[in-house]
Amino acid sequence: MMSLHRYFKECFSLINMYDSINMRKIGNLVKIFINTVIIYLYMDSFDLRILKEISRDSRKPLKEIGKAIGIYSASAISRRIKEMQENNIIKGFKAEIDFGKLGYNFVTATFVRAKYGIEYHDIVAEKIMKIKGVIDVLFLLGDIDFYILCATKTKDDYVIILNELEKITEIERSDTHTVLNIYKYHDIANIF
Report DSSP letters for 114-134, one per residue: E---TTHHHHHHHHHHTSTTE
What percent of the chain has a predicted confidence (pLDDT) above 90?
Answer: 52
Half-sphere exposure of 105 (CA within 13 A, CB side): 2
* 149: β partners: 109, 136
Domain residue extents for the chain: 4-86, 106-179
Question: What is the pTM for the complete model shown?
Answer: 0.67
Rounded CA separation 100/14 (Å): 38
Cβ atoms of residues 77 and 50 within 8 Å: yes
Identify the residue with better confidence: 114 or 31: 114
Tell me, what's the pLDDT at 147? 96
Question: What CATH number labels 106-179?
Answer: 3.30.70.920
**Listed residue (188, 184, 174, 106) closest to 146, CA to CA:** 174
Rounded CA separation 102/25 (Å): 40
Q: What is the mean pLDDT of the chain?
A: 84
Opening angle at CA 123, ends 118 and 127, nearest 5: 160
Tell me, what's the pLDDT at 34? 66
Tell me, what's the pLDDT at 67? 94
pLDDT per position as a tens digit, 100-112:
899 999 999 999 9
What percent of the chain has a predicted confidence (pLDDT) above 70?
Answer: 74
Helix/strand/coil for 189: helix
Q: Is the pLDDT of residue 13 over 50?
A: yes
* Mean per-residue pLDDT, 86-112: 89
Tell me, what's the pLDDT at 1? 43
Quickly list DSSP for 40-71.
Answer: HHH--HHHHHHHHHHHH-TT--HHHHHHHHT-
Q: Is the pLDDT of residue 37 over 70?
A: no
Q: Is the pLDDT of residue 61 over 80?
A: yes
Cβ atoms of residues 106 and 152 within 8 Å: yes
pLDDT per position as a tens digit, 112-160:
999 988 888 999 999 999 999 999 999 999 999 999 999 999 999 999 9
Cβ atoms of residues 142 and 113 within 8 Å: no
* 152: β partners: 106
